[in-house]
Copies of this chain bind each other. A is one copy, B any other.
Amino acid sequence: MKADKISELTTNRLSIYLRCLNELAHEGRKTVSSDRLAKRFHLNSAQIRKDLACFGEFGVRGVGYYIEDLREQIIRILGLDHHHRVGIVGAGRLGAALTDYYGFRQTNFEVAALFDADPEKIGSVVSDVKVFDVKDFSKVRKNEGIDVAVIAVPAEYAQKVLEMIVDAGVKAVMNFAPTPLLADDDVKLKTIDLTISLESLSYFLARPGKNGRE
Protein backbone atom coordinates (compact mmCIF):
# COMPACT_ATOMS: atom_id res chain seq x y z
CA MET A 1 0.00 0.00 0.00
CA LYS A 2 2.58 2.54 1.13
CA ALA A 3 0.23 5.49 1.34
CA ASP A 4 2.21 8.70 1.50
CA LYS A 5 -0.30 10.79 3.39
CA ILE A 6 -0.63 9.19 6.79
CA SER A 7 -3.51 10.25 8.99
CA GLU A 8 -2.82 11.27 12.54
CA LEU A 9 -5.44 8.77 13.59
CA THR A 10 -3.23 6.09 12.14
CA THR A 11 -0.09 7.23 13.95
CA ASN A 12 -2.04 7.53 17.20
CA ARG A 13 -3.09 3.94 16.81
CA LEU A 14 0.48 2.88 16.14
CA SER A 15 1.28 4.16 19.63
CA ILE A 16 -1.45 1.95 20.99
CA TYR A 17 -0.31 -1.08 19.04
CA LEU A 18 3.19 -0.55 20.33
CA ARG A 19 1.98 -0.60 23.89
CA CYS A 20 0.00 -3.78 23.28
CA LEU A 21 3.02 -5.42 21.70
CA ASN A 22 5.15 -4.41 24.67
CA GLU A 23 2.71 -6.15 26.93
CA LEU A 24 2.68 -9.29 24.81
CA ALA A 25 6.47 -9.31 24.53
CA HIS A 26 6.64 -9.01 28.30
CA GLU A 27 4.52 -12.15 28.55
CA GLY A 28 7.03 -13.95 26.39
CA ARG A 29 4.93 -14.40 23.26
CA LYS A 30 6.75 -14.52 19.94
CA THR A 31 4.04 -13.96 17.34
CA VAL A 32 0.56 -12.51 17.28
CA SER A 33 -2.17 -12.26 14.65
CA SER A 34 -4.09 -9.07 14.01
CA ASP A 35 -7.21 -10.90 15.11
CA ARG A 36 -5.70 -11.96 18.44
CA LEU A 37 -4.38 -8.45 19.02
CA ALA A 38 -7.77 -6.99 18.20
CA LYS A 39 -9.72 -9.35 20.46
CA ARG A 40 -7.35 -8.96 23.36
CA PHE A 41 -7.18 -5.16 23.30
CA HIS A 42 -10.59 -4.38 21.84
CA LEU A 43 -9.41 -3.10 18.49
CA ASN A 44 -10.41 -3.88 14.92
CA SER A 45 -8.22 -6.40 13.13
CA ALA A 46 -8.74 -4.96 9.65
CA GLN A 47 -7.74 -1.56 10.93
CA ILE A 48 -4.58 -2.89 12.49
CA ARG A 49 -3.59 -4.53 9.21
CA LYS A 50 -4.42 -1.46 7.22
CA ASP A 51 -2.56 0.89 9.54
CA LEU A 52 0.54 -1.28 9.34
CA ALA A 53 0.19 -1.69 5.58
CA CYS A 54 0.78 2.05 5.21
CA PHE A 55 4.40 1.48 6.12
CA GLY A 56 5.24 -1.89 4.60
CA GLU A 57 4.46 -5.57 4.81
CA PHE A 58 5.43 -6.65 8.27
CA GLY A 59 3.32 -9.75 8.66
CA VAL A 60 3.56 -13.31 7.41
CA ARG A 61 0.42 -14.90 6.02
CA GLY A 62 -0.66 -17.89 7.98
CA VAL A 63 1.56 -16.84 10.90
CA GLY A 64 0.82 -13.28 11.93
CA TYR A 65 3.37 -10.74 13.11
CA TYR A 66 6.65 -11.43 14.87
CA ILE A 67 6.18 -9.33 17.99
CA GLU A 68 9.78 -8.28 18.51
CA ASP A 69 10.20 -7.41 14.85
CA LEU A 70 6.97 -5.43 14.68
CA ARG A 71 7.87 -3.57 17.85
CA GLU A 72 11.13 -2.46 16.31
CA GLN A 73 9.39 -1.43 13.10
CA ILE A 74 6.84 0.72 14.93
CA ILE A 75 9.55 2.25 17.11
CA ARG A 76 11.39 3.19 13.94
CA ILE A 77 8.26 4.50 12.20
CA LEU A 78 7.32 6.68 15.17
CA GLY A 79 10.89 7.91 15.47
CA LEU A 80 11.13 6.63 19.03
CA ASP A 81 14.69 5.53 18.34
CA HIS A 82 15.67 9.20 18.26
CA HIS A 83 16.32 11.18 21.40
CA HIS A 84 14.50 14.50 21.90
CA ARG A 85 15.12 17.33 24.29
CA VAL A 86 12.12 19.14 25.73
CA GLY A 87 11.78 22.68 27.01
CA ILE A 88 8.75 23.36 29.19
CA VAL A 89 7.55 26.96 29.31
CA GLY A 90 5.73 27.61 32.57
CA ALA A 91 7.21 26.26 35.81
CA GLY A 92 3.95 26.15 37.73
CA ARG A 93 2.40 22.97 39.06
CA LEU A 94 1.60 21.65 35.62
CA GLY A 95 5.09 22.32 34.33
CA ALA A 96 6.52 20.61 37.41
CA ALA A 97 4.21 17.63 37.01
CA LEU A 98 5.22 17.24 33.38
CA THR A 99 8.91 17.50 34.26
CA ASP A 100 8.39 14.45 36.40
CA TYR A 101 6.19 12.68 33.90
CA TYR A 102 7.43 9.18 33.37
CA GLY A 103 6.06 9.05 29.85
CA PHE A 104 8.72 11.50 28.70
CA ARG A 105 11.55 9.23 29.70
CA GLN A 106 9.76 6.17 28.38
CA THR A 107 9.44 7.65 24.91
CA ASN A 108 13.00 8.89 24.60
CA PHE A 109 12.06 12.47 25.46
CA GLU A 110 14.10 14.25 28.09
CA VAL A 111 13.12 17.46 29.84
CA ALA A 112 16.19 19.65 29.39
CA ALA A 113 14.95 22.98 30.74
CA LEU A 114 12.07 24.82 32.34
CA PHE A 115 11.24 28.46 31.58
CA ASP A 116 9.30 31.02 33.57
CA ALA A 117 8.86 34.78 33.85
CA ASP A 118 8.58 34.81 37.64
CA PRO A 119 11.89 36.04 39.17
CA GLU A 120 11.24 33.87 42.23
CA LYS A 121 11.24 30.75 40.11
CA ILE A 122 14.09 31.63 37.78
CA GLY A 123 17.26 29.92 38.91
CA SER A 124 15.51 27.29 40.98
CA VAL A 125 15.63 23.58 40.21
CA VAL A 126 12.63 21.26 39.76
CA SER A 127 13.32 17.52 39.67
CA ASP A 128 16.92 18.15 38.63
CA VAL A 129 15.85 20.51 35.85
CA LYS A 130 16.88 24.16 36.00
CA VAL A 131 14.36 26.99 35.56
CA PHE A 132 15.55 29.65 33.11
CA ASP A 133 14.26 33.12 32.36
CA VAL A 134 11.77 32.77 29.54
CA LYS A 135 13.52 35.72 27.88
CA ASP A 136 16.56 33.49 27.36
CA PHE A 137 14.55 30.81 25.59
CA SER A 138 16.28 31.16 22.25
CA LYS A 139 19.77 31.06 23.75
CA VAL A 140 19.04 28.15 26.08
CA ARG A 141 17.35 26.29 23.26
CA LYS A 142 20.59 26.40 21.26
CA ASN A 143 22.83 25.49 24.20
CA GLU A 144 20.64 22.62 25.31
CA GLY A 145 19.64 21.38 21.87
CA ILE A 146 15.94 21.65 22.62
CA ASP A 147 13.75 20.46 19.72
CA VAL A 148 10.39 20.10 21.45
CA ALA A 149 8.55 22.73 23.48
CA VAL A 150 5.68 22.42 25.92
CA ILE A 151 3.37 25.34 26.68
CA ALA A 152 2.19 25.20 30.28
CA VAL A 153 1.26 28.83 30.87
CA PRO A 154 -2.13 30.53 31.36
CA ALA A 155 -4.26 30.80 28.23
CA GLU A 156 -3.78 34.53 27.82
CA TYR A 157 -0.02 34.20 27.33
CA ALA A 158 -0.10 31.05 25.21
CA GLN A 159 -0.16 32.59 21.74
CA LYS A 160 2.74 34.94 22.53
CA VAL A 161 4.75 32.10 24.02
CA LEU A 162 4.07 29.97 20.96
CA GLU A 163 5.33 32.71 18.68
CA MET A 164 8.48 33.05 20.72
CA ILE A 165 9.02 29.30 20.60
CA VAL A 166 8.52 29.17 16.85
CA ASP A 167 10.75 32.19 16.29
CA ALA A 168 13.47 30.36 18.18
CA GLY A 169 13.20 27.60 15.61
CA VAL A 170 11.32 24.84 17.46
CA LYS A 171 9.07 22.83 15.13
CA ALA A 172 7.17 20.61 17.55
CA VAL A 173 5.00 22.05 20.30
CA MET A 174 2.61 20.59 22.81
CA ASN A 175 0.11 23.07 24.21
CA PHE A 176 -1.74 22.63 27.50
CA ALA A 177 -3.30 26.08 27.57
CA PRO A 178 -7.06 25.81 27.02
CA THR A 179 -7.12 27.90 23.88
CA PRO A 180 -6.66 27.09 20.21
CA LEU A 181 -3.38 28.48 18.92
CA LEU A 182 -2.29 29.52 15.46
CA ALA A 183 1.00 28.47 13.95
CA ASP A 184 2.58 28.01 10.54
CA ASP A 185 2.01 24.79 8.68
CA ASP A 186 5.59 23.66 9.15
CA VAL A 187 5.13 23.60 12.91
CA LYS A 188 3.51 20.59 14.52
CA LEU A 189 1.22 21.85 17.23
CA LYS A 190 -0.64 19.48 19.48
CA THR A 191 -3.14 20.93 21.93
CA ILE A 192 -4.31 19.04 25.00
CA ASP A 193 -7.35 20.90 26.19
CA LEU A 194 -8.56 19.71 29.56
CA THR A 195 -11.41 22.18 29.59
CA ILE A 196 -12.94 20.59 26.52
CA SER A 197 -12.60 17.16 28.07
CA LEU A 198 -14.18 18.34 31.29
CA GLU A 199 -17.08 19.94 29.50
CA SER A 200 -17.57 16.74 27.58
CA LEU A 201 -17.90 14.90 30.89
CA SER A 202 -20.30 17.56 32.07
CA TYR A 203 -22.45 17.06 28.98
CA PHE A 204 -22.63 13.36 29.69
CA LEU A 205 -23.55 13.88 33.33
CA ALA A 206 -26.34 16.22 32.31
CA ARG A 207 -27.78 13.50 30.09
CA PRO A 208 -28.01 10.24 31.99
CA GLY A 209 -28.85 7.38 29.69
CA LYS A 210 -26.52 8.22 26.85
CA ASN A 211 -23.29 6.33 27.09
CA GLY A 212 -19.82 7.32 26.13
CA ARG A 213 -16.61 5.62 25.32
CA GLU A 214 -13.80 7.90 24.36
Contacts and interface: CB of A to CB of B under 8 A. Distances in A.
A147 B206 CA distance: 12
Interface class of chain A by DSSP? mixed
Interface in A125-180: 147-148, 154, 171-172, 174, 178-180
A101 B198 CA distance: 12
Contact of A202 (B84, B202, B205, B214): B84
Contacts of A199: 11-12, 14-15, 18, 78, 80, 107
Interface residues of A, number: 71
Given A93-B100, A195-B107, A19 B189 contact: no
Interface of A: 6, 8, 11-12, 14-16, 18-19, 41-42, 77-80, 82, 84, 92-94, 96-97, 100-104, 106-109, 147-148, 154, 171-172, 174, 178-180, 182-183, 185-208, 210-214
A196 to B, nearest CB: 4
Among the interface residues A106, A183, A204, which one has the most CB atoms of the partner chain B within 10 A? A204
A174 B6 CA distance: 28
A198 B97 contact: no
B198 A103 contact: yes
A19 B198 CA distance: 14
State the oligomeric state as a number of copies. Answer: 2
A213 B171 CA distance: 12
A206 B79 contact: yes
Nearest to A126: B93
A174 B148 contact: no
Contacts of A78: 199, 202-203, 206
6 contacts: A12-B196, A16-B180, A79-B205, A106-B195, A174-B198, A191-B214
A177 to B, nearest CB: 10
B195 A211 contact: no
